[in-house]
Amino acid sequence: MAKVRGKRIKAAQETAAGATSAALEVSGGSEWVGVGRSGIHQNGLFAKKDIPKGTKMIEYVGDKIIKAESERRGNEQDELGRPKGDGTVYVFTLNNRYDIDGAVEWNEARNANHSCAPNAATDILKGRIWLIAERKIKKGEEITYDYGFDLNYWRDHPCRCGSKKCVGYIVGEEYRAELKKKVKAWEKKEAKEAAKKKETAKKEETAKKEEVPQAE
Ligand SMILES: C[S@@+](CC[C@H](N)C(=O)[O-])C[C@H]1O[C@@H](n2cnc3c(N)ncnc32)[C@H](O)[C@@H]1O
Ligand SMILES: [Zn+2]
């Protein structure tokens, strides 16, 4: 199960507007971002207005659960999504004891998609998970962050972020060099197997044609 880990960023800048939107943020919504249809995958999170760098755009809210429960729920979510080819897991690592299960309707932040060239990052501030603007974001832009997945099960998570930096699969930035090597080796193996299959089929076809018809 690939758990959303999200890259931590350095000191997030408090903005005046961020401070006034506390009521909305606690409810899982935000004055900065809203849900819309994404070109990356189904729903996404989009800027409602221009957003300054460092803004705490939205809190990732949900049930605070211990690790054992988190493992159970994460696996359950993974299993549920698998038949659709979509292992969506909403469990987010909070600290050594607790995680946040964001699979609740009011958690709008759960809609943020991954990108290999993201404009946001997650950070944990005073025990709360925030999605923070890593640069100035224009109104209408999709909000994305690096899910930070490790190299386990990389083939289960194809990436459609469309960025020039995309490596084809959802893994954290620190794993991408290693992943490129794995993808290359895998593609080579696949090509070899496909060529072998083609060769066998060709041989079988030739053998069939050369078969002498039996006299009745
Ligand atoms: C937390 S959800 C994000 C919201 C999701 N788009 C939705 O409509 O429910 C995570 C799931 O979205 C999809 N997803 C997110 N980023 C993606 C990307 N860059 N490429 C392909 N699928 C992505 C994957 O199925 C992933 O398991
Ligand atoms: Zn990508």
Question: Distances from the Cα of 181 to the Cαs of 176, 187, 188, in angstroms?
Answer: 9, 10, 11
pLDDT digits (tens, 9 = 90+) for 14-41: 333 344 344 454 578 899 999 999 999 9
Provide the sign of the torsion angle of the four alpha carbons 159, 77, 83, 43, taken in this order.
Answer: negative
Tell me how far the alpha carbon of residue 179 lies from the centroid of ligand 2, in angstroms. Answer: 12
Whole-number pLDDT of residue 215: 59
Question: Distances from the Cα of 3 to the Cαs of 31, 48, 78, 79, 126, in angstroms?
Answer: 27, 28, 10, 13, 21
The proportion of the chain whose per-residue pLDDT surpasses 70, expressed as a percent, equals 83
Q: Which ligand 1 atom sits nearest the alpha carbon of residue 166?
A: 19
Calpha distance 59→130 (Å, rounded)? 4
36 against 8, higher pLDDT: 36
> Is any atom of ligand 1 closer than 6 Å to the C-beta of 165?
no
> Is any atom of ligand 1 closer than 6 Å to the C-beta of 91?
no
> Is any atom of ligand 1 closer than 6 Å to the C-beta of 161?
yes
Q: Of the ligands numbered here, which is closest to the C-alpha atom of 103?
A: 1
Out of 11-20, 32-41, 99-108, 114-123, pick the least confident. 11-20
Whole-number pLDDT of residue 168: 96
Whole-number pLDDT of residue 153: 85
Tell me how far the alpha carbon of residue 147 lies from the centroid of ligand 2, in angstroms. Answer: 10
Mean pLDDT value across residues 39-58:
97
Q: Which of 38, 41, 173 to mutate to test the pocket of ligand 1 (most atoms within 8 A of CB)?
A: 41
Whole-number pLDDT of residue 79: 85
Tell me how far the alpha carbon of residue 183 lies from the centroid of ligand 1, in angstroms. Answer: 21
pLDDT digits (tens, 9 = 90+) for 157-189: 999 999 999 999 999 999 999 999 999 999 999
Q: Of the ligands numbered here, which is closest to the C-alpha atom of 166?
A: 2
> Is any atom of ligand 1 closer than 6 Å to the C-beta of 144?
no
Calpha distance 111→34 (Å, rounded)? 9
Q: Which of 33, 86, 113 to mutate to test the pocket of ligand 1 (most atoms within 8 A of CB)?
A: 113
> Is any atom of ligand 1 closer than 6 Å to the C-beta of 167?
no
Whole-number pLDDT of residue 15: 34
pLDDT digits (tens, 9 = 90+) for 56-74: 999 999 999 999 999 999 8
The three-class DSSP label of residue 200 is: helix
pLDDT at 7 > cutoff 50: no
Whole-number pLDDT of residue 10: 32
Tell me how far the alpha carbon of residue 202 lies from the centroid of ligand 1, in angstroms. Answer: 41
Among 42, 40, 9, 15, residue whose Cα is nearest residue 30: 15
Residue 11 tokens, joined: 């000191």
In this prediction, residue 156 has a pLDDT band, given cuts at 50, 70 and 90, of: confident
CATH architecture of 16-173: Beta Complex (2.170)
- List phi, psi (to 5°) of 23: -60, -45
